[in-house]
Chain A
Amino acid sequence: MNKEARLKATINQKLTETGERERLKELLRAKLTECGWKDQMKAQCKEVIKEKGLEHVTVEDLVVEITPKGRALVPDSVKKELLQRIRAFLTQHAS
């Protein structure tokens, strides 16, 4: 493993250990709901369901359709805020 990969692994471990990962997840979820992203994505899901049929739609169907759109539709402000928190965490946990 090179330096970067080791760093990444260490950071990920610290994120989980300190509980920051959970907090960041919750924060992201809250922000996405607040800004209407969740409702937007639900509407997209409805399309997929209508397409595939209520009885036959699978998780895979949804994931394949929704994930790329979901990533693209995250508002910049939300991204900025999360990145700020992450950067703060990174600089704080410089060993």
Chain B
Amino acid sequence: MKMEEVSMSSLDNSKLEALAQDILSDLVEDACLGLCFEVHRAVKQGYFFLDDTDQESMRDFEIVDEPGLDVFGQVYNQWKNKECVCPNCSRSIAASRFAPHLEKCLGMGRNSSRIANRRIVTGNNTNNKSESDQEDNDDVNDNDWSYGAEKKAKKRKSDKVIVINLFSYNKG
């Protein structure tokens, strides 16, 4: 039996509004029931309280909100004033300068190779460097006695840096 199509225009707005409210009511009821079933299943299957933590742990891990501390309660600029002893030259170096110092001190890293190269080419004394890399420099860079070759040396610097870095990596 075919249902008669009822025209909307024959009904006034208040009836339409009532209908809309009815539909909304049904939908809300559906959502509530859905939630009840979800919760009930979680309870019976034992996972309802799984994401809760007990009060004690909650207090342990509470967010810290004090000046000078981060949210974990750690002091965050603790290392600014610390000094470290360099294992190579046994000097006391400030923490924030430690990594660059080590680079130069051990003769590893890009910058120390460049500086070493420059010093060799201009004939300077470089006592503080570790010996191994300097020997490599000498082997690779044979035109260090002629000043005219400075330009060539500088141009090939990038090649040398790559080669030296490869040497450094091999040595570990």
Q: Which residues of A contact B (CB under 8 A)?
A: 3-4, 6-13, 15, 24-25, 28-29, 32, 38, 41-42, 45, 49, 54, 57-59, 62-63, 66-67, 70-71, 74, 79, 82-83, 86-87, 90-91, 94-95
B3-40 contacts to A, CB under 8 A, are 3-11, 15-17, 19-25, 27-37, 39-40
Cβ-based interface call for B166 (8 A): no
Q: Check A86/B4 contact, CB under 8 A, given A42-B39, A62-B40.
A: no
Cβ-based interface call for B43 (8 A): yes
In the complex, 13 of the A-B residue pairs with CB atoms within 8 angstroms, ordered by the A residue number, are A6-B3, A9-B3, A10-B5, A45-B39, A49-B43, A62-B36, A63-B32, A63-B36, A67-B36, A70-B28, A71-B25, A86-B24, A95-B7
B3: A residues at CB distance < 8 A: 6, 9-10, 13
A71: B residues at CB distance < 8 A: 25, 28-29, 32
A8: B residues at CB distance < 8 A: 19, 22
A79: B residues at CB distance < 8 A: 24
The closest CB in chain A to the CB of B8 belongs to A94
Cβ-based interface call for B72 (8 A): no
In whole angstroms, how far apart are the Cα atoms of A24 and B78 in the complex? 55
A94 touches B9 (CB 8 A): yes
Q: Which residues of B contact A (CB under 8 A)?
A: 3-11, 15-17, 19-25, 27-37, 39-40, 43, 48
The closest CB in chain B to the CB of A32 belongs to B31
B48: A residues at CB distance < 8 A: 49
The closest CB in chain A to the CB of B39 belongs to A45
The closest CB in chain B to the CB of A94 belongs to B8
Q: Check A66/B36 contact, CB under 8 A, given A4-B15, A7-B6, A57-B43.
A: yes
Which of these, B6, B10, B23, B29, contacts A86 with CB under 8 Å? B23
Q: A13-B3, A90-B19 are in contact. List 19 more A-B contacts (CB 8 A).
A: A3-B10, A6-B4, A8-B22, A9-B3, A10-B3, A10-B5, A11-B23, A28-B31, A32-B31, A41-B35, A59-B36, A62-B36, A63-B32, A70-B28, A71-B25, A71-B32, A74-B28, A86-B24, A94-B8
